[in-house]
Amino acid sequence: MLQARGADMLTSLNNGLQEFADQLAGERATLTETAHLIAAAEQAVDTLDQHCLDTEHAEALPPLVLAKTLHALSQLQVSLARNAGHAQALAVSAALETAHSQGLMGSADSASQASPGLAAIADDMHHLALTMHRLSHQLSQLMEQVNSQVREHSQAVVKSAWLTMRLPARRKQPSRQCINLLTNPSICTR
């Protein structure tokens, strides 16, 4: 009888660990996809940065560049949020498996000796999920900042172009009037 109970317990643990291993393999594929999204987002941000820093040919930012950048960042943010949910589900699964193995072992003392690794995995997965949630939120905030900075850049380019067109027509004015024109805050509202 004791031998049969031990065999059942080992079978149950083995099945639980196999299920957990399958879940981890699925998560690996998800993380690989996220790595590709990170690379795409980095490339899009680099392209956006290059357009914004090119002061020699200052033009309004092409809308397609901004759209591609925000799309890449949005995909990454969604992936991070999804990964956080998966990590939390894995943490719960590992915690349940730990509790299940404790119940099969009989006492909490023998269970903590039998599966400290599984409890540590559950804890690590929970911390990973919290970190991914935080990163997803931070990325969302960064997307708002990028959008705001691009708008400011576009306004500066428009103002610069307007001043470039207005200054040659006013070259005959005294230099003080040109300086007043350059420092006039109402230029942006015209």
DSSP string, 16-77: HHHHHHHHHHHHHHHHHHHHHHHHHHHHHHHHHHHHHH--TT--PPPHHHHHHHHHHHHHHH
Q: Is the pTM of this model over 0.75?
A: no
- DSSP-assigned letter for residue 107: S
Q: Where are the domains of the chain?
A: 2-146
Q: Residues 74, 32: contact at Cβ < 8 Å?
A: no
Higher pLDDT: 111 or 31? It is 31
User: For residue range 46-79, what is the model confidence (pLDDT) as tens digits?
Assistant: 888 887 776 555 566 677 888 888 888 889 889 8
Of 189, 147, 167, which Cα lies nearest the Cα of 45? 147
Distance, C-alpha 70 to centroid of its chain: 12
State whether the Cα torsion 99-104-109-114 is positive or negative: negative
User: For residue range 116-175, what is the model confidence (pLDDT) as tens digits?
Assistant: 777 788 888 888 888 888 888 888 888 888 888 777 877 877 787 777 777 665 555 566
Dig out the tokens for 162 from the structure.
């307007």
Q: Residue 164: exposed, middle, or buried by beta-carbon count in 10 A (0-12, 13-18, 19+)?
A: exposed
Q: Residues 85, 187: contact at Cβ < 8 Å?
A: no
Separation between Cα atoms, residue 104 and residue 98, nearest integer Å: 10
Amino acid at 148: S
Q: Could you tell me what percentage of the chain is helix, strand and coil, using 3-state DSSP and rounding each to the nearest 5?
A: 90, 0, 10
Separation between Cα atoms, residue 41 and residue 132, nearest integer Å: 16
Amino acid at 56: E
| pLDDT, averaged across the chain | 77
